[in-house]
Amino acid sequence: MKVPAEFVYLIQAFHQDSIPRDDQGNVPSDFTEDKWIAGALEFLDEKKKTVVRDFLDELFAGKLSDEELYDIWQAAGPDYLFSDPALTRIVFTKMRGQL
């Protein structure tokens, strides 16, 4: 499966520094995955969003396992890895919902 450059560009926006923290290193209580995803999506113009949306639709149509989705996430080069591959599906689903 060919991963589009637009998807790679988006995934690389997910990194440790993209999660806000206070002076003690704590994540604000009102910070959610949805806000994290929305912040990353701001880096995409409408054309790139369309490519990413279509790619996510293709991923979900393929009935890929959580591990396969996690492999795609990792291959895109994020600076943030999930402790459980199932979280990748949750983030991809929320991402698709915001597109």
Instruction: Domain count for the chain, please give it.
Output: 1
Residue at 91 is within a domain: yes
Q: Which domain holds residue 56?
A: 5-13+31-98
Residue 25, number of CB atoms within 10 A of its CB: 6
Q: What is the pLDDT of residue 17?
A: 65
Residue at 18 is within a domain: no
Residue at 58 is within a domain: yes
With bands split at pLDDT 50, 70 and 90, how would you rate the model's confidence at 16? low
User: Distance between CA atoms of 32 and 84, rounded to whole angstroms?
Assistant: 18
Each residue of 20-72: pLDDT tens digit? 566 777 766 776 778 788 888 988 999 999 999 999 999 999 889 999 999 99
Residue at 42 is within a domain: yes
Residue at 24 is within a domain: no
Residue at 41 is within a domain: yes
Contact 75, 2 (CB under 8 A): no
Residue 7 has pLDDT above 90, yes or no: yes
Residue at 22 is within a domain: no
Task: Give, for 95, the enclosing helix (H) or strand (E).
Answer: helix 86-98
Residue 42, number of CB atoms within 10 A of its CB: 7
Q: Which residue has the tokens 């926006």?
A: 13
Q: What is the pLDDT of residue 46?
A: 96
Q: What is the pLDDT of residue 29?
A: 73
